[in-house]
Amino acid sequence: METEIKGTGVALITPFLENSEVDYDGLERVVKHVTDGNVDYLVALGTTGETVTLTADEKLKVFNHIVEVNNNKLPIVIGHGGNNTKSLIENLNRYDLSKAHAILSVVPPYNRPSQRGLYEHYKAFSDSCNSPIILYNVPARTGCNMEVETIMQLAQDVPNIIGVKEAGGDIMQMQKLIAALQKNLL
């Protein structure tokens, strides 16, 4: 699957006002600053964007604001993850995915699914949309490590999985992953 997601992407913060509301003027300044800095793509609603502190409506407004400010200058990756597969799929339908070039989906946090459970989660998620998906493995935050074999099986079985953001910190796993998937994923 061809994609425009290459080079350096920046995970955007979500600035807040003193009253805990999203600072949309500040968000606009952040998007323009990053865009002017010659990055290759933007990552909206990732961990850096304080996504777990936003309501579903706020997430949608933040994403739409980033899309509007970006004005098709750079590709956008949208962070969308969670530990309830059904809710994840239902909430994804709220977004205009034609404005996103890929989805960054974190390993389900907290409930520590088995490797088979991870496979089934991502398979169901990918079956629900045609968008390119980037797996996000960050065990220190989720409590669960997605093993190389699971990633390999997903890459083989699920055509819209295009990449992996590997943040596990295990150099041996990273080397094994690179060797196994260098021709298949980002």
Choice among 32, 136, 176, 183 that is catalytic: 136
pTM of the model: 0.91
pLDDT tens for 111-137 read 899 999 999 999 999 999 999 999 999
Spatial separation of the C-alpha atoms in residues 12 and 22, rounded to whole Å: 13
- Are the CB atoms for 118 and 150 separated by under 8 Å? yes
Residues 155, 113, 158, CA angle at the centre, nearest 5°? 15
CA dihedral (45, 159, 118, 115) positive or negative: negative
User: What pLDDT does residue 48 have?
Assistant: 84
119 is catalytic: no
CATH top-level class of 9-181: alpha beta
Q: Is residue 165 annotated as a catalytic residue, yes or no?
A: yes
**Selected catalytic residue, list 123, 165, 176, 183:** 165
| The residue to which tokens 């990449």 are assigned | 163
Which residue numbers in the chain have pLDDT < 50? 1-2
